[in-house]
Amino acid sequence: MNIINNDIIKTALLIFLILVLGDCSSGPNYIREGDQKYYDKDYSGSIGDFNRELENHPSNDSAYLMKGKAENLLGNFKDAVDDLSRSLELTNSFDACYNRGIAYLLLNENEKAETDFSSAIRLKPHSDTAYYCRGYVRGLLHKPQDAISDYDKAILINPVYQTAYVNRGNIKSDIEDYEGALMDYTMALDLNPNDISAYFNRGYTLKLLGNNEQAISDFTKVIDSTPDNMEVYYLRGQARMDSKMYKDAIEDFSILVKLNHKDGKAYFFRGMSYLKLKNKKQACADLTKSSELGFVDANAELTKNCKSPKKLKHKR
């Protein structure tokens, strides 16, 4: 019995020594070290390890893949394309297609990005992110129906894909399907009530649909979060004018004048709001300032509402 136990121990020890010696003889594990640095967000360090791995094993598709992903995160998109292309020459993988698509997208090579995302989808048909990215690219390529179809599929796979609802809403808005866009923005906000861009887009859509009261509420949420957002002050001010809330509109346009005292458009709309309140003196002062700043729409209103009084001729 003791002899058998000794033999087992010797065999186990021999296996252990073989594994240890084998590991030592192979040198540093650059892939493992590079992976660790990648996940620690030391992307430059990880690239150095992957390069050393490729010096020893130039056909390692994983090293090219990980190096390409790190290059993407560092903004080196052309280098990323080169590395991911090498990876794809060795192994046609979803990760390499998807990440090269990202690189092409960020290089504004949108047709190539669309092709890569399509390849990624063929390799992994249930990837919500691949459909999402292809939908985004197709929107840039002015293929609205194809983009909507991709967002539909992304949402079907992942019903709580919040940004997919936002982007689908943007495409629907572009093709003037405002009711559909409104539904998507509302769903996005149900999923993430803190999405300021969704509030902005929904507010804009509500304004287009003539629902100024709710639009004002959405614009106010945007302003509460980004108080220097000049565009949203314009939109809220105009919605307030449309709702005959002229004093409130004046507050918005006054903030715009404070943010930029050379904003002829803000002076114009404030002047028009003062006109609605029968404050002709202040209205004409603002319209005059707007005209002086080059906002041409002010000229007609000046002529119409602020004619200079005719000078009386003195009798000799």
**How high does pLDDT run on average in the chain?**
91
Model confidence at 279: pLDDT above 50: yes
What are the tens digits of pLDDT across the range 290-315? 999 999 999 999 999 997 544 434 44
Q: How confident is the model at residue 28 (pLDDT cuts 50, 70, 90)?
A: low
Model confidence at 16: pLDDT above 50: no
Give pLDDT, residue 8: 53
Percent of the chain with pLDDT over 70: 88
Give pLDDT, residue 66: 95
Q: Would you call 196 exposed, middle or buried from its count of C-beta atoms within 10 A (0-12, 13-18, 19+)?
A: middle
Q: Measure the CA–CA gap between 75 and 105, rounded to whole angstroms.
A: 12
**What 8-state DSSP symbol labels residue 307?**
P
Give pLDDT, residue 58: 94
Give pLDDT, residue 307: 73
Model confidence at 184: pLDDT above 60: yes
Mean pLDDT of 41-62: 94
Q: How confident is the model at residue 20 (pLDDT cuts 50, 70, 90)?
A: very low
**78-90 in b/e burial notation, b at 16+ Cβ within 10 A?**
ebbbbbbebbbeb
Model confidence at 269: pLDDT above 80: yes
> Greater confidence, 69 or 2?
69
At residue 293, the 3 state secondary structure works out as coil
Its pTM surpasses 0.75: yes
Backbone dihedral region for residue 226 (phi beyond 0: left; psi -120 to 50: alpha; all else: beta): beta
What are the tens digits of pLDDT across the range 56-113? 999 999 999 999 999 999 999 999 999 999 999 999 999 999 999 999 999 999 999 9
At residue 93, the 3 state secondary structure works out as coil
Query: Torsion over CA of 109, 110, 116 and 120, rounded to 10 degrees?
Result: 140
Domain made up of 228-304: CATH architecture? Alpha Horseshoe (1.25)
What are the tens digits of pLDDT across the range 213-234? 999 999 999 999 999 999 999 9
